[in-house]
Amino acid sequence: GTVTWLAQGLPTEESAIHIMKDKRSLKLTTTNIQKLVVFRRMDRLCSDISKFIDTATAYMGSAIEDHDNTTADEAESEWEEQNDDPHSDLPLPFIHIPALPLPSSLC
């Protein structure tokens, strides 16, 4: 049950780290195909995270809902800060990948 759920979260978290590194390494000269590859990986990751969170509610209940509200507020604030910066030269728009609700991140 819980151990399997946690084990499933580790590759998802690793994938999120790799995607964010890839996103940061993109340059202004990045082709649309290269951007699309990163977008597709991000989309797949978001789907994996949603499945992980759905499973998490079975094990952690309301702790997940409280964590989701905090994470959403932080993401919105970060998005506003980045999009208000006229010197931001990111080749991709800001996309928030939510933190996985592992027990260590809910404390």
pLDDT for the residue numbered 57:
77
Q: What is the domain partition of the chain in residue ranges?
A: 2-106
Cα–Cα dist 19/48, whole Å: 13
The Cβ of residue 67 has, within 10 Å, a number of other Cβ atoms equal to 20
Q: What is the pLDDT of residues 11-42, one digit of tens each?
A: 988 898 888 888 888 887 888 898 889 889 98
Residues in the chain with pLDDT values less than 70: 61-107
30-65 CB burial, b ≥16 within 10 A, e <16: eeeeeeeebbebbeebbebbeebbebbeeebeeebe
pLDDT for the residue numbered 74:
55
pLDDT for the residue numbered 78:
52
pLDDT for the residue numbered 62:
59
pLDDT for the residue numbered 13:
87
Residue type, 105: S
Asked if 4 contacts 56 with a C-beta cutoff of 8 angstroms, the reply is: no
Token match 């000269």: residue? 29
